[in-house]
Structure 1
Protein backbone atom coordinates (compact mmCIF):
# COMPACT_ATOMS: atom_id res chain seq x y z
CA UNK A 1 0.00 0.00 0.00
CA UNK A 2 1.01 3.58 -0.68
CA UNK A 3 -0.27 6.63 1.19
CA UNK A 4 -2.88 8.69 -0.68
CA UNK A 5 -3.12 12.44 -0.05
CA UNK A 6 -6.38 13.22 1.76
CA UNK A 7 -7.23 15.82 -0.90
CA UNK A 8 -7.71 12.93 -3.36
CA UNK A 9 -10.10 10.81 -1.28
CA UNK A 10 -13.20 12.30 -2.94
CA UNK A 11 -11.98 10.96 -6.29
CA UNK A 12 -12.43 7.44 -4.96
CA UNK A 13 -15.91 7.97 -3.53
CA UNK A 14 -17.52 10.35 -5.99
CA UNK A 15 -21.01 8.86 -5.90
CA UNK A 16 -22.73 9.62 -9.15
CA UNK A 17 -22.85 11.37 -12.48
CA UNK A 18 -22.17 15.03 -12.96
CA UNK A 19 -25.53 16.77 -13.21
CA UNK A 20 -26.92 20.21 -13.92
CA UNK A 21 -29.02 21.85 -11.23
CA UNK A 22 -31.51 24.50 -12.30
CA UNK A 23 -33.21 27.07 -10.10
CA UNK A 24 -35.57 29.97 -10.72
CA UNK A 25 -36.03 32.93 -8.44
CA UNK A 26 -37.86 36.18 -9.14
CA UNK A 27 -38.40 35.14 -12.77
CA UNK A 28 -34.72 34.42 -13.47
CA UNK A 29 -33.57 30.88 -14.22
CA UNK A 30 -30.04 29.68 -13.57
CA UNK A 31 -28.10 26.46 -14.03
CA UNK A 32 -25.01 25.14 -12.26
CA UNK A 33 -22.88 22.02 -12.54
CA UNK A 34 -22.98 19.70 -9.53
CA UNK A 35 -21.27 16.42 -8.72
CA UNK A 36 -21.64 16.20 -4.94
CA UNK A 37 -24.93 14.37 -4.51
CA UNK A 38 -26.25 10.98 -3.47
CA UNK A 39 -29.46 9.03 -3.14
CA UNK A 40 -30.61 8.71 0.48
CA UNK A 41 -34.00 7.00 0.03
CA UNK A 42 -35.72 4.93 -2.65
CA UNK A 43 -39.36 5.94 -2.20
CA UNK A 44 -40.10 8.69 -2.07
CA UNK A 45 -36.83 9.34 -3.89
CA UNK A 46 -34.65 11.57 -1.72
CA UNK A 47 -31.38 13.10 -2.91
CA UNK A 48 -28.83 14.83 -0.70
CA UNK A 49 -26.71 17.42 -2.45
CA UNK A 50 -24.14 20.04 -1.58
CA UNK A 51 -24.60 23.51 -3.06
CA UNK A 52 -21.91 25.89 -1.91
CA UNK A 53 -22.97 29.17 -0.36
CA UNK A 54 -20.62 30.76 -2.93
CA UNK A 55 -22.73 29.46 -5.84
CA UNK A 56 -25.26 31.85 -7.34
CA UNK A 57 -27.84 29.03 -7.23
CA UNK A 58 -27.56 28.70 -3.45
CA UNK A 59 -29.64 31.80 -2.70
CA UNK A 60 -32.37 30.75 -5.14
CA UNK A 61 -32.51 27.23 -3.69
CA UNK A 62 -32.77 28.63 -0.16
CA UNK A 63 -35.43 31.18 -1.17
CA UNK A 64 -37.66 28.92 -3.27
CA UNK A 65 -37.01 25.45 -1.85
CA UNK A 66 -37.12 23.87 -5.29
CA UNK A 67 -34.93 22.96 -8.24
CA UNK A 68 -34.46 20.54 -11.12
CA UNK A 69 -31.65 18.01 -11.38
CA UNK A 70 -30.96 17.49 -15.08
CA UNK A 71 -28.77 14.54 -16.10
CA UNK A 72 -26.62 15.17 -19.19
CA UNK A 73 -25.06 12.51 -21.40
CA UNK A 74 -21.37 12.45 -22.26
CA UNK A 75 -22.01 14.40 -25.47
CA UNK A 76 -22.62 17.46 -23.29
CA UNK A 77 -19.38 17.10 -21.29
CA UNK A 78 -17.69 20.23 -22.66
CA UNK A 79 -20.84 22.28 -22.08
CA UNK A 80 -21.15 20.90 -18.52
CA UNK A 81 -17.61 22.10 -17.74
CA UNK A 82 -18.30 25.51 -19.28
CA UNK A 83 -21.46 25.89 -17.18
CA UNK A 84 -19.47 24.94 -14.09
CA UNK A 85 -16.71 27.42 -14.86
CA UNK A 86 -19.03 30.42 -15.14
CA UNK A 87 -21.23 32.35 -12.74
CA UNK A 88 -24.95 32.95 -13.10
CA UNK A 89 -24.42 36.27 -11.35
CA UNK A 90 -22.55 37.49 -14.43
CA UNK A 91 -24.29 35.78 -17.37
CA UNK A 92 -27.52 34.09 -18.36
CA UNK A 93 -26.18 30.56 -18.73
CA UNK A 94 -29.19 29.30 -20.69
CA UNK A 95 -28.49 31.92 -23.38
CA UNK A 96 -24.70 31.73 -23.17
CA UNK A 97 -24.61 27.96 -23.63
CA UNK A 98 -27.67 27.55 -25.87
CA UNK A 99 -29.54 25.39 -23.35
CA UNK A 100 -33.25 24.96 -23.95
CA UNK A 101 -35.38 25.54 -20.84
CA UNK A 102 -38.64 23.60 -20.72
CA UNK A 103 -41.44 24.22 -18.22
CA UNK A 104 -41.62 21.85 -15.29
CA UNK A 105 -44.96 20.73 -13.83
CA UNK A 106 -44.33 20.86 -10.08
CA UNK A 107 -41.55 23.48 -9.67
CA UNK A 108 -40.70 26.86 -11.18
CA UNK A 109 -37.15 25.83 -12.14
CA UNK A 110 -36.88 24.73 -15.77
CA UNK A 111 -36.10 21.32 -17.21
CA UNK A 112 -33.22 21.19 -19.71
CA UNK A 113 -34.28 19.76 -23.08
CA UNK A 114 -30.77 18.58 -23.99
CA UNK A 115 -30.50 16.33 -20.92
CA UNK A 116 -31.76 12.74 -21.03
CA UNK A 117 -33.38 12.94 -17.59
CA UNK A 118 -34.85 15.74 -15.49
CA UNK A 119 -35.93 15.44 -11.86
CA UNK A 120 -38.21 18.07 -10.36
CA UNK A 121 -37.27 18.46 -6.70
CA UNK A 122 -38.47 20.17 -3.54
CA UNK A 123 -36.25 20.76 -0.51
CA UNK A 124 -37.46 18.56 2.36
CA UNK A 125 -34.66 18.97 4.89
CA UNK A 126 -32.32 21.89 5.58
CA UNK A 127 -30.93 20.74 8.94
CA UNK A 128 -27.39 20.48 7.56
CA UNK A 129 -27.43 23.48 5.21
CA UNK A 130 -25.87 25.96 7.63
CA UNK A 131 -23.11 23.55 8.65
CA UNK A 132 -22.36 21.66 5.39
CA UNK A 133 -24.43 23.34 2.62
CA UNK A 134 -26.23 19.98 2.35
CA UNK A 135 -29.83 20.02 1.12
CA UNK A 136 -32.11 16.99 1.09
CA UNK A 137 -34.42 17.06 -1.93
CA UNK A 138 -37.51 15.00 -2.68
CA UNK A 139 -37.99 14.15 -6.34
CA UNK A 140 -41.63 15.01 -7.01
CA UNK A 141 -41.72 14.45 -10.79
CA UNK A 142 -39.28 12.67 -13.12
CA UNK A 143 -38.82 12.91 -16.88
CA UNK A 144 -36.81 10.87 -19.39
CA UNK A 145 -36.08 11.58 -23.05
CA UNK A 146 -36.91 8.34 -24.93
CA UNK A 147 -35.02 9.60 -27.99
CA UNK A 148 -31.71 9.34 -26.12
CA UNK A 149 -30.98 5.61 -26.24
CA UNK A 150 -28.48 4.19 -23.71
CA UNK A 151 -27.00 7.55 -22.66
CA UNK A 152 -23.60 7.48 -21.00
CA UNK A 153 -23.01 9.73 -18.00
CA UNK A 154 -19.81 11.45 -16.90
CA UNK A 155 -18.27 11.20 -13.45
CA UNK A 156 -15.86 13.80 -12.07
CA UNK A 157 -12.42 12.65 -10.97
CA UNK A 158 -10.99 16.10 -10.29
CA UNK A 159 -8.68 18.47 -12.08
CA UNK A 160 -10.56 18.37 -15.39
CA UNK A 161 -10.65 14.57 -15.53
CA UNK A 162 -13.86 12.59 -16.01
CA UNK A 163 -14.78 8.94 -16.38
CA UNK A 164 -17.52 7.90 -18.80
CA UNK A 165 -20.16 5.44 -17.61
CA UNK A 166 -19.00 2.01 -18.68
CA UNK A 167 -20.12 -1.48 -19.44
CA UNK A 168 -23.12 -2.78 -17.52
CA UNK A 169 -22.93 -6.19 -15.90
CA UNK A 170 -25.73 -8.18 -14.32
CA UNK A 171 -25.12 -10.49 -11.40
CA UNK A 172 -27.49 -13.08 -10.03
CA UNK A 173 -29.33 -11.40 -7.16
CA UNK A 174 -29.56 -14.77 -5.40
CA UNK A 175 -25.79 -15.06 -5.02
CA UNK A 176 -24.76 -15.30 -1.37
Structure 2
Protein backbone atom coordinates (compact mmCIF):
# COMPACT_ATOMS: atom_id res chain seq x y z
CA UNK A 1 0.00 0.00 0.00
CA UNK A 2 1.23 3.51 -0.70
CA UNK A 3 2.48 5.31 2.34
CA UNK A 4 0.80 8.46 3.51
CA UNK A 5 2.90 11.52 2.99
CA UNK A 6 3.98 13.40 6.07
CA UNK A 7 2.95 16.99 6.05
CA UNK A 8 5.95 19.27 5.88
CA UNK A 9 6.18 21.80 8.69
CA UNK A 10 7.99 25.08 8.29
CA UNK A 11 8.50 27.83 10.82
CA UNK A 12 6.42 30.96 10.30
CA UNK A 13 8.18 33.93 8.76
CA UNK A 14 9.32 36.19 11.58
CA UNK A 15 8.36 39.20 9.50
CA UNK A 16 4.80 37.96 8.99
CA UNK A 17 2.16 37.98 11.69
CA UNK A 18 1.07 34.41 12.47
CA UNK A 19 -2.47 33.77 11.28
CA UNK A 20 -5.02 32.52 13.80
CA UNK A 21 -7.00 30.71 11.08
CA UNK A 22 -5.87 27.44 9.54
CA UNK A 23 -5.30 27.71 5.81
CA UNK A 24 -7.60 25.57 3.65
CA UNK A 25 -5.94 22.40 2.34
CA UNK A 26 -4.55 22.54 -1.16
CA UNK A 27 -6.16 20.60 -4.02
CA UNK A 28 -3.33 18.07 -3.92
CA UNK A 29 -3.68 17.59 -0.18
CA UNK A 30 -7.45 17.07 -0.51
CA UNK A 31 -6.85 14.47 -3.22
CA UNK A 32 -4.34 12.59 -1.09
CA UNK A 33 -6.46 12.54 2.05
CA UNK A 34 -9.58 11.46 0.14
CA UNK A 35 -7.90 8.41 -1.36
CA UNK A 36 -8.78 5.10 0.24
CA UNK A 37 -5.97 3.02 1.67
CA UNK A 38 -7.98 -0.16 2.21
CA UNK A 39 -7.32 -1.50 -1.32
CA UNK A 40 -4.29 -3.66 -2.06
CA UNK A 41 -2.21 -3.45 -5.20
CA UNK A 42 -2.99 -6.10 -7.84
CA UNK A 43 -0.88 -7.01 -10.92
CA UNK A 44 -2.29 -5.38 -14.04
CA UNK A 45 -1.12 -8.41 -16.01
CA UNK A 46 -3.66 -10.57 -14.16
CA UNK A 47 -6.81 -8.45 -14.46
CA UNK A 48 -8.31 -11.18 -16.64
CA UNK A 49 -8.90 -13.03 -13.38
CA UNK A 50 -11.11 -10.18 -12.17
CA UNK A 51 -13.32 -9.77 -15.24
CA UNK A 52 -13.42 -13.15 -16.91
CA UNK A 53 -16.16 -12.77 -19.52
CA UNK A 54 -18.69 -15.58 -19.74
CA UNK A 55 -19.06 -19.32 -19.26
CA UNK A 56 -16.48 -21.81 -20.41
CA UNK A 57 -17.33 -22.95 -23.94
CA UNK A 58 -16.53 -25.80 -26.29
CA UNK A 59 -15.69 -24.79 -29.87
CA UNK A 60 -16.40 -27.22 -32.68
CA UNK A 61 -14.61 -26.60 -36.00
CA UNK A 62 -13.87 -28.40 -39.26
CA UNK A 63 -16.30 -30.51 -41.24
CA UNK A 64 -18.35 -33.43 -39.98
CA UNK A 65 -18.98 -34.84 -43.46
CA UNK A 66 -15.27 -34.96 -44.31
CA UNK A 67 -14.36 -36.21 -40.83
CA UNK A 68 -12.07 -33.23 -40.14
CA UNK A 69 -14.04 -31.95 -37.17
CA UNK A 70 -12.19 -30.95 -34.01
CA UNK A 71 -13.18 -29.52 -30.65
CA UNK A 72 -11.47 -27.27 -28.13
CA UNK A 73 -12.18 -25.47 -24.85
CA UNK A 74 -12.24 -21.70 -24.62
CA UNK A 75 -12.57 -19.20 -21.79
CA UNK A 76 -11.80 -15.90 -23.58
CA UNK A 77 -14.87 -14.64 -25.40
CA UNK A 78 -17.39 -11.83 -25.17
CA UNK A 79 -20.67 -10.60 -26.62
CA UNK A 80 -20.13 -7.66 -28.97
CA UNK A 81 -23.68 -6.97 -30.11
CA UNK A 82 -27.08 -8.04 -28.80
CA UNK A 83 -28.89 -8.74 -32.06
CA UNK A 84 -29.41 -7.72 -35.70
CA UNK A 85 -27.23 -9.77 -35.74
CA UNK A 86 -25.84 -11.18 -32.50
CA UNK A 87 -22.04 -10.85 -32.63
CA UNK A 88 -19.53 -12.72 -30.47
CA UNK A 89 -15.81 -12.12 -30.09
CA UNK A 90 -13.70 -15.25 -29.52
CA UNK A 91 -9.97 -15.49 -28.89
CA UNK A 92 -8.54 -18.42 -30.87
CA UNK A 93 -4.87 -18.31 -31.86
CA UNK A 94 -2.43 -20.26 -34.04
CA UNK A 95 -1.41 -22.27 -30.98
CA UNK A 96 -4.84 -23.92 -31.21
CA UNK A 97 -5.31 -26.79 -33.65
CA UNK A 98 -8.74 -25.35 -34.47
CA UNK A 99 -7.20 -22.10 -35.75
CA UNK A 100 -6.52 -23.31 -39.30
CA UNK A 101 -9.99 -24.86 -39.64
CA UNK A 102 -11.62 -21.63 -38.54
CA UNK A 103 -9.37 -19.69 -40.89
CA UNK A 104 -10.12 -21.84 -43.93
CA UNK A 105 -13.83 -22.56 -43.44
CA UNK A 106 -14.89 -19.45 -41.53
CA UNK A 107 -17.42 -21.42 -39.47
CA UNK A 108 -17.72 -22.98 -36.04
CA UNK A 109 -20.12 -24.04 -33.32
CA UNK A 110 -20.00 -22.66 -29.80
CA UNK A 111 -21.34 -25.18 -27.30
CA UNK A 112 -22.23 -24.25 -23.72
CA UNK A 113 -21.42 -27.14 -21.36
CA UNK A 114 -23.11 -27.80 -18.04
CA UNK A 115 -21.10 -27.86 -14.82
CA UNK A 116 -21.80 -31.59 -14.58
CA UNK A 117 -19.15 -32.21 -17.27
CA UNK A 118 -16.69 -29.54 -16.11
CA UNK A 119 -13.83 -32.01 -15.60
CA UNK A 120 -14.29 -33.42 -19.09
CA UNK A 121 -14.31 -29.91 -20.56
CA UNK A 122 -11.02 -29.10 -18.81
CA UNK A 123 -9.50 -32.35 -20.08
CA UNK A 124 -10.56 -31.49 -23.62
CA UNK A 125 -8.61 -28.26 -23.28
CA UNK A 126 -5.52 -30.09 -22.01
CA UNK A 127 -4.81 -31.93 -25.26
CA UNK A 128 -4.45 -31.06 -28.94
CA UNK A 129 -6.65 -32.21 -31.77
CA UNK A 130 -3.45 -32.74 -33.80
CA UNK A 131 -2.57 -35.61 -31.48
CA UNK A 132 -5.88 -36.91 -30.15
CA UNK A 133 -9.29 -37.63 -31.66
CA UNK A 134 -11.12 -35.78 -28.94
CA UNK A 135 -14.59 -36.79 -30.11
CA UNK A 136 -13.94 -40.47 -29.58
CA UNK A 137 -11.56 -40.07 -26.64
CA UNK A 138 -14.07 -38.07 -24.62
CA UNK A 139 -17.14 -39.87 -26.03
CA UNK A 140 -18.69 -36.73 -27.47
CA UNK A 141 -21.73 -36.84 -29.74
CA UNK A 142 -21.13 -35.06 -33.05
CA UNK A 143 -24.53 -33.97 -34.37
CA UNK A 144 -24.99 -32.45 -37.85
CA UNK A 145 -25.62 -28.71 -37.73
CA UNK A 146 -28.16 -26.95 -39.91
CA UNK A 147 -26.13 -24.14 -41.46
CA UNK A 148 -22.43 -24.84 -40.83
CA UNK A 149 -20.12 -27.78 -41.53
CA UNK A 150 -18.87 -28.14 -37.95
CA UNK A 151 -21.04 -30.42 -35.80
CA UNK A 152 -23.14 -29.54 -32.80
CA UNK A 153 -22.05 -31.08 -29.52
CA UNK A 154 -24.75 -33.45 -28.31
CA UNK A 155 -25.28 -35.23 -25.05
CA UNK A 156 -27.04 -34.58 -21.74
CA UNK A 157 -24.22 -32.35 -20.43
CA UNK A 158 -24.55 -29.68 -23.11
CA UNK A 159 -26.84 -26.73 -22.44
CA UNK A 160 -26.83 -25.07 -25.86
CA UNK A 161 -25.19 -24.90 -29.29
CA UNK A 162 -24.68 -21.77 -31.38
CA UNK A 163 -23.86 -22.08 -35.06
CA UNK A 164 -21.56 -19.24 -36.09
CA UNK A 165 -19.88 -17.77 -39.17
CA UNK A 166 -16.86 -15.47 -39.20
CA UNK A 167 -17.82 -11.94 -40.23
CA UNK A 168 -14.72 -9.94 -39.30
CA UNK A 169 -11.05 -11.02 -39.31
CA UNK A 170 -9.43 -7.61 -38.87
CA UNK A 171 -8.38 -8.27 -35.27
CA UNK A 172 -7.11 -11.81 -35.83
CA UNK A 173 -3.54 -10.96 -36.87
CA UNK A 174 -3.07 -8.55 -33.96
CA UNK A 175 -5.21 -9.96 -31.15
CA UNK A 176 -6.30 -13.44 -32.34
CA UNK A 177 -9.84 -12.14 -31.92
CA UNK A 178 -12.50 -13.48 -34.30
CA UNK A 179 -15.84 -11.76 -34.71
CA UNK A 180 -18.54 -14.41 -35.10
CA UNK A 181 -22.15 -13.99 -36.14
CA UNK A 182 -24.68 -16.33 -34.57
CA UNK A 183 -26.83 -17.80 -37.35
CA UNK A 184 -28.65 -20.60 -35.50
CA UNK A 185 -29.01 -21.63 -31.87
CA UNK A 186 -30.22 -24.74 -30.08
CA UNK A 187 -31.20 -25.45 -26.46
CA UNK A 188 -31.25 -28.73 -24.58
CA UNK A 189 -34.84 -29.05 -23.25
CA UNK A 190 -33.76 -31.64 -20.67
CA UNK A 191 -31.70 -29.01 -18.85
CA UNK A 192 -34.26 -26.23 -18.96
CA UNK A 193 -34.40 -24.59 -15.54
CA UNK A 194 -31.64 -26.87 -14.23
CA UNK A 195 -28.61 -25.84 -16.29
CA UNK A 196 -25.55 -24.55 -14.45
CA UNK A 197 -22.86 -22.86 -16.49
CA UNK A 198 -19.37 -22.56 -15.03
CA UNK A 199 -16.89 -19.73 -15.37
CA UNK A 200 -13.09 -19.85 -15.34
CA UNK A 201 -11.48 -17.44 -12.87
CA UNK A 202 -8.25 -17.41 -14.82
CA UNK A 203 -6.21 -19.39 -12.32
CA UNK A 204 -7.51 -22.94 -12.66
CA UNK A 205 -10.48 -22.39 -10.36
CA UNK A 206 -14.07 -22.04 -11.49
CA UNK A 207 -17.32 -20.50 -10.31
CA UNK A 208 -20.58 -22.36 -10.91
CA UNK A 209 -23.87 -20.55 -11.48
CA UNK A 210 -25.88 -20.36 -8.30
CA UNK A 211 -28.50 -17.99 -6.90
CA UNK A 212 -30.35 -15.91 -9.48
CA UNK A 213 -30.88 -12.25 -8.61
CA UNK A 214 -33.97 -11.09 -10.52
CA UNK A 215 -33.94 -7.32 -11.05
CA UNK A 216 -36.01 -7.25 -14.24
CA UNK A 217 -38.48 -4.74 -12.80
CA UNK A 218 -35.67 -2.29 -12.13
CA UNK A 219 -34.09 -2.73 -15.57
CA UNK A 220 -36.52 -0.28 -17.10
CA UNK A 221 -34.09 0.84 -19.80
CA UNK A 222 -33.54 -2.66 -21.15
CA UNK A 223 -37.05 -4.14 -21.32
CA UNK A 224 -36.62 -5.17 -24.97
CA UNK A 225 -33.97 -7.70 -23.93
CA UNK A 226 -36.17 -9.43 -21.37
CA UNK A 227 -38.50 -12.36 -21.98
Root-mean-square deviation (CA, aligned residues, Å) is 1.2
1:29 is matched with which residue: 50, 53, 69?
69
1:27, CA displacement in angstroms?
3.2
Paired position in structure 2 for 1:87? 128
Paired position in structure 1 for 2:149? 108
TM-score w.r.t. structure 2 length? 0.75
Paired position in structure 2 for 1:173? 219
Distance 1:65 1:154 in 2: 27
Bigger-Rg structure (1/2): 2
Q: What are the equivalent positions in structure 2 for 1:41-60 lying under 5 Å apart?
A: 41-43=81-83, 44-60=85-101
Distance 1:84 1:145 in 2: 23
Greater relative CO, 1 or 2 (CA 8 Å, sep 6+): 1
1:4 and 2:63 aligned: no
Distance 2:220 2:146 in 1: 40
Q: Note if contact 2:52-2:202 (Cα within 8 Å) is conserved in structure 1.
A: no
Distance 1:133 1:53 in 2: 8
Distance 2:189 2:67 in 1: 29
Report SS of the residue matched to 1:54: coil
Decide which structure has greater strand share. 1
Distance 2:53 2:210 in 1: 15
TM-score w.r.t. structure 1 length? 0.96
1:170, CA displacement in angstroms?
1.3
Q: What are the equivalent positions in structure 2 for 1:90-169 lying under 5 Å apart?
A: 90-114=131-155, 115-149=158-192, 150-169=194-213
Distance 2:150 2:188 in 1: 18
Q: Note if contact 2:94-2:100 (Cα within 8 Å) is conserved in structure 1.
A: yes
Any gaps of 5 or more consecutive residues in structure 1? none
Distance 1:48 1:160 in 2: 22
